[in-house]
Amino acid sequence: MPPKRKTTPAINLIAGGTAGLCEAICCHPLDTIKVRMQLSTRTALPGVRKMGFFATGVNIARKESIFGLYKGLGAVITGIVPKMAIRFSSFEFFKGALADKTTNKTTSTGIFFAGLAAGTAEAILVVTPTDVIKIRLQAQHHSMADPLDVPKYRNAAHAAFTIVREEGISALYRGVILTSLRQATNQAVNFTAYTEIKAYLKSIQPQYQELPSYQHMIIGLISGALGPLSNAPIDTIKTRMQKEPAIEGESAFGRVSRISKHLMQREGILAFYKGITPRVMRVAPGQAVTFAVYEQVSKSLEQVPLLNGHQSVLTAED
């Protein structure tokens, strides 16, 4: 069997950015639906039935045009490449640091903590500010097909400028702790599940040097679904926190406590899981797309001599 090709961080960056872009374009409408569901309250008239994720999506498309489902996409795309670069490079760094110095292998526990650290790094450096901008744009109920319906935030750049001007630069980092917890648990679960399932499939299919693309998609689908299920309450509180301006004199812990108490008292325990269906539907297939596109793009880039070198994060053997 020929030796496995190795890839450089440059390939990880290009392939990861391309995969992230495809994932965002394919799955962003589900994220918009998730945000709207998380921001909804039970203040509707008595007898009015709550809208599920499908009805919420139809309602957005009908009242705000189909483009309404892509509100905030600019903020997501802007952060995709740096987020992927930070995720993969930091995961590789921590994975190497936690590896056994004699065998150069990383245990499942090491993979988990490397994913935890990678998720924290991407949350602090990229995800939190882009999430704040994205959520502000997604929360606006205006029709993108009506030029006279001018929203407060016109696009990602205008939203960032307006938020900083009115609320200060710190507003872009509102909810950074919760975002870090969400991203950390997401990537810890994601990388661990992906690595373990992939290792198992390779052990029962020794005929493959590398698994087929459809198997990468299935693994990504499974590993991607586990993260949202593990941290849904964190994501719901974070979304509520990032949507509203800060209250003067209120600490971050105070905001979390107030929002949590409000959710529990007025809407019940299930309110913490609002939007879980579209979130799983967004993240799980998103990871499937990411892994499948990543593998295909990286294989193509491996043919470029200047880009060959170190082993890829997602195709590395532990």
Name the pTM for this structure. Answer: 0.70
pLDDT score of 3 = 42
Residue 299 lies in a domain: no
214-253 residue pLDDT tens:
888 899 899 888 888 888 888 888 888 877 777 778 887 8
**To the nearest whole number, what is the mean pLDDT of the chain?**
81
257-297 residue pLDDT tens:
888 898 888 888 888 888 788 778 778 888 888 878 877 88
Give 199 or 78, the one with higher predicted confidence. 199
Average pLDDT over residues 198-205: 91
CA-closest candidate to residue 24, choices 255, 266, 285, 313? 285
Residue 164 lies in a domain: yes
**Contact status, residue 163 vs residue 130, Cβ threshold 8 Å:** no
164 confidence band (pLDDT: 50, 70, 90): very high
Average pLDDT over residues 39-66: 76
Number of domains in the chain: 1
Residue 85's domain comprises 75-142+149-174
Residue 133 lies in a domain: yes
**Contact status, residue 176 vs residue 88, Cβ threshold 8 Å:** no
* Long-range contacts formed by 192-199: CB under 8 A, 24+ apart: 192/108, 192/111, 192/112, 192/115, 193/219, 193/222, 193/223, 193/226, 194/219, 194/220, 194/223, 194/291, 194/314, 195/108, 195/111, 195/318, 196/108, 197/222, 197/223, 199/318
Residue 156 lies in a domain: yes
Residue 238 lies in a domain: no
pLDDT score of 301 = 82
Residue 202 lies in a domain: no
pLDDT score of 310 = 45
Residue 234 lies in a domain: no
Give 10 or 44, the one with higher predicted confidence. 10
pLDDT score of 269 = 87
Check whether 7 has a pLDDT greater than 60.
Answer: no
Check whether 118 has a pLDDT greater than 90.
Answer: yes
pLDDT score of 144 = 60
Residue 3 lies in a domain: no
